[in-house]
Structure 1
């Protein structure tokens, strides 16, 4: 696997209500990019990021999964998260590890309960986000109705950058409202669209939305607003960088359209991620919570030249590899066999055999640069939320605050001989799920 520097990395999390199409969309993009050899399907149990036996049996995401694709000269890290209420805290846990969220909305249902909840999570940390209206090939999918529900829920800053061509089973492509070009696809094909002119019957609608988009982007830029009033439009070479800034500053929440099962729109979505989503190094600095001697909390630039620091955002218990820690390299370069200090627990950890994940498959790497996401097995003390780094440059990043559990269950062993086994099993579950609490009732 090629080593990527921070400027050529994009980290995104897919969040949204259950069954909105998050996992199918990840599978579509992986297949289109050549990262997988077939188009994974949730119903077939072949989706890359839903590999747990329970996920396959229930046809739903239960735990966050990692995957990646190489698109052009850029590596895109995807984090696929659950969308059901009882597991949605998994989405909140991973938000600090990414630079943007793709809020996936069902093309029929529109905005749902968990859609609003994860949007609020993003608001809490000012995370840039964009909406992807998925499953546009479904019966009764309706772009106009979904856009209305988005504007009602999240305001006028939600603005389409695309429009679908066709609907339901006749979905055949998308219109790029920035470049004013169309891209058509074969339903269930290789996912790579053919560029052409906008269909005649959609030109007027596309032009109307293009003008609304240009006007909204120009609102945050006096020079662009002046150019817009003078010329009635903004050329693409000025619009693209202005749109990038507007997305990063939460002055616009773009809307795109796709079908994961139909493998339509994934290539355009990856183009969009590369062109408009901030690279990790654009984040600037990450601030720690430990107060240094001069009274100021320490911080790290997201740069290779800084002392190494990283935080763990997810823990997985694997039957063969043991405890696997998913982490984000905030600063510095992590190399194989590094010995780091766990600043949260004041212990040393050796990181042997670092890797990147493609679903359940660990791909060994020799190093990871600032901004990248990876995994390592068998850390003895490290758990979710912990910060690790060079012992000579201490820092501790703040942990995500989770809500208190809302449901309590009683469990008991079948016999006294099973008590120890039960305790071991419960504590493994607690390592994976930070929301779980365990106590004995005398």
Structure 2
């Protein structure tokens, strides 16, 4: 039996257009969590999730990469997916069994051809989505413009969660809009030092983004909405509570900026998923009893009868056929 209770598990998919850097984000997460000893590179064919000969040869993902690792007492099950149209069914399979999704955006390209399709997969499954703008360290990046594009395409519930203090090659720190904390990364380090000192250069951006985030999440709770409309300021605990509730209910779609190449912001992605993504206990899953039309709601209870969904079967030259399943109960 797993040493993790269902409430301490997070199942999430990483989707996005090919070239947005999903596999490198995965590498950073695995390394930071201590699940791998080095950060591999797609160009070198040394990444954990791209291990098939075809993937190494073509330098792209062609199938779901299943990774599990522990972070601060939480078991994170990550499904790294291909980003090109030829392999869209792989992403569809991953999103079907995930409880939340990180949708990667290339900071240099913005919304691309497949981005709306990934968004659509998440809408069908009705699971929370956070946008991860990767490659913020590229030249001539306008982070605010990328956020505005996302808002135009996917609605006013898209809200900035992290603000780069400087975009481009000097990108090494960001402000967390929800907490007011500043995360700074020393050169060559992928673990941040955290402080309360918001630079004057971004303070007005931070204050505006905090108001926008508060407005986006307040209506997910009637009591909070009444208080906010009455002109009362929300406490920090109230804002975190209502943000968490809104994210899980798909009433806010936060935007985070990272650089997988430099490791900036990737550790916070694990904090984000651990803190705000739903656990299996919080997810409602409907199933039909075999041989009947009876619909039942499955509970994430280890003591219940086993209910699982095989979402992928593959053939391995060394061990034969492998079937991957999501266990919903039992």
Q: Does 1:301 align with 2:304?
A: no
Q: Quick one: distance in 2 between partners of 1:289 and 1:277?
A: 29
Q: Quick one: distance in 2 between partners of 1:125 and 1:110?
A: 24
Q: Does 1:324 align with 2:322?
A: yes
Residue number in structure 2 paired with 1:233 = 233
What secondary structure, in the 3-state scheme, does the structure 2 residue paired with 1:201 have?
Answer: helix
Please state how far the C-alpha of 1:138 moved relative to its aligned partner.
Answer: 1.5
Q: Quick one: distance in 2 between partners of 1:231 and 1:180?
A: 21
Aligned 1:176-255 pairs, distance under 5 A: 176-189=176-189, 191-196=190-195, 197-230=197-230, 232-255=232-255
Asked whether the 8 Å contact 1:214–1:233 carries over to 2, the reply is: no
Q: Does 1:126 align with 2:130?
A: no
Residue number in structure 2 paired with 1:145 = 145
Residue number in structure 1 paired with 2:63 = 63
Residue number in structure 1 paired with 2:22 = 22
Q: Quick one: distance in 1 between partners of 2:289 and 2:126?
A: 18
Q: Quick one: distance in 1 between partners of 2:160 and 2:112?
A: 19
* TM-superposition CA deviations, 1:51-82 (whole Å, max 9, x none): 11111121111111111221101010110000
What secondary structure, in the 3-state scheme, does the structure 1 residue paired with 2:169 have?
Answer: helix
Please state how far the C-alpha of 1:226 moved relative to its aligned partner.
Answer: 2.8
The CA RMSD measured in Å over matched residues stands at 1.6
Aligned 1:220-369 pairs, distance under 5 A: 220-230=220-230, 232-288=232-288, 290=290, 292=292, 295-332=293-330
Q: Quick one: distance in 1 between partners of 2:88 and 2:141?
A: 25
Asked whether the 8 Å contact 1:11–1:77 carries over to 2, the reply is: yes
Asked whether the 8 Å contact 1:312–1:326 carries over to 2, the reply is: yes
Residue number in structure 1 paired with 2:88 = 88
Residue number in structure 2 paired with 1:36 = 36
Question: 1 or 2 for the larger relative contact order (CA 8 Å, sep ≥6)?
Answer: 2
Q: After TM superposition, where is structure 1 displaced by more than 4 Å over at least 4 residues in a row?
A: none
Asked whether the 8 Å contact 2:10–2:279 carries over to 1, the reply is: yes
Q: Quick one: distance in 2 between partners of 1:146 and 1:187?
A: 25
What secondary structure, in the 3-state scheme, does the structure 2 residue paired with 1:195 have?
Answer: strand
Q: Does 1:170 align with 2:173?
A: no
Point out the structure with max Rg over C-alpha.
Answer: 1
TM-score w.r.t. structure 2 length? 0.95
Please state how far the C-alpha of 1:259 moved relative to its aligned partner.
Answer: 1.0
Asked whether the 8 Å contact 2:220–2:245 carries over to 1, the reply is: no
Q: Quick one: distance in 1 between partners of 2:137 and 2:223?
A: 40
Please state how far the C-alpha of 1:305 moved relative to its aligned partner.
Answer: 2.3
Q: Quick one: distance in 2 between partners of 1:183 and 1:231?
A: 30
Residue number in structure 2 paired with 1:158 = 158
What secondary structure, in the 3-state scheme, does the structure 2 residue paired with 1:24 have?
Answer: helix
Structure 2 runs not aligned, ≥5 long: none
* TM-superposition CA deviations, 1:61-108 (whole Å, max 9, x none): 111111122110101011000000111121001222110011111111
Q: Quick one: distance in 2 between partners of 1:242 and 1:34?
A: 32
Please state how far the C-alpha of 1:222 moved relative to its aligned partner.
Answer: 2.5
Asked whether the 8 Å contact 1:290–1:298 carries over to 2, the reply is: no
Please state how far the C-alpha of 1:298 moved relative to its aligned partner.
Answer: 3.8
Q: Quick one: distance in 2 between partners of 1:326 and 1:320?
A: 16
Q: Quick one: distance in 1 between partners of 2:298 and 2:218?
A: 33
What secondary structure, in the 3-state scheme, does the structure 1 residue paired with 2:141 have?
Answer: coil
Residue number in structure 1 paired with 2:51 = 51
Q: Quick one: distance in 2 between partners of 1:165 and 1:24?
A: 22
